[in-house]
Amino acid sequence: MQQRNSGNRRPSGTDGSDFSYRMVVDNRYTKVAKGKSTLSKVLVIQVVVLLAGVLDVFFTLLKKEPLVTLAAASSSITFISIILGELGRKRSRVNFLKFYMVGSSIGILVSIASVIQSNIQLKVVHDLSNWETEKFSLLKIAFVSAGLFVQIFSVTTTTSLIGNMSPPKRAS
C-alpha cells in the first residue's frame, strides 16, 4: 500500500490525461439546488407573515370581538400550503409544489379580501386622528402587503424550480 506524500504529486494510476472523462454536473441540477435554497428562505418569510395573521386572529378572539372568518380561512389555507411547499421542496415533488403555489396564492387573495372587507384604510384616511386606535389594523395592512410581495417572489421561484426539476424535453 502506497502512503500519501505531501506535495504536488499525481495520484498513482493516472497520467493526468483522464481529465476529459471526468463527470460534470448538469447545470439544471445546480439550478434546482439554488432554487430549493431560495424557496426555503421564502417559506421562512411566509411563516413570519402567517404568524402575524395568526396573532391578529388571536387578539381578535381575546378582545371577544366577532371572528373575521376570511382572516381565519386565509391563515389556515396558507398554513397548509406552506407545509405542502416544504414537503415538495424537500422531496422534490412537483405536484406538491404546484399545490403550494395555488394554495398560497389563494391564501394571500383571501387575506387581501379580508382587509378590503374590513374597510380599515377608509376609516384611517377619513379621520387621521383615529390612526392611534387603528395602529394594529394598519400593521395588518402592512403584513398583507408584505405577504403579497413575498407571494409574487414565491411564485416566480417555484415556477423556475418546477421547470428545472422536470426532465428536459427530447428533440424529435
Hunting for cell 383571501 — which residue is that?
Answer: 110
Write down the pLDDT at residue 102: 97
Confidence of residue 94 (pLDDT cuts 50, 70, 90): very high
Q: What confidence tens digit (pLDDT) does each residue in 137-156 have?
A: 778 888 899 999 999 999 99
pLDDT score of 41: 96
Provide the grid cell at 72.
Answer: 381565519
Residue 168 within any structural domain of the chain: no
Domain containing residue 71: 27-162
Flag whether 83 is in a domain.
yes
Q: Is residue 130 part of a domain?
A: yes
CB proximity list for 98: less than 8 A, separation 6 or greater: 162
- What global pTM score does this model have? 0.78
Residue 94 within any structural domain of the chain:
yes
According to DSSP H, which parts of 63-134 are helical? 69-91, 94-118, 120-126
Tell me, yes or no, whether 47 lies in a domain. Answer: yes
Residue 43 lies in a domain: yes
Domain count, the chain: 1
- Tell me: pLDDT of 6 over 70: no
Whether 12 maps to a domain, the answer reads: no
- Tell me if 80 is assigned to some domain: yes
Average pLDDT of the residues in 50-69? 84
> For the residues 87-99, what does the mean pLDDT come to?
95
Per-residue model confidence (pLDDT) at position 46:
96
| Nearest-angstrom CA–CA distance, 124 and 35 | 40
For the stretch 34-44, pLDDT in tens is 999 999 999 99
CB 91 within 8 A of CB 76: no
| Pick from 109, 80, 112, 107: nearest CA to 96 | 80
**C-alpha cell belonging to residue 44:** 421562512
Rounded Cα distance, 110 and 5, in Å: 66
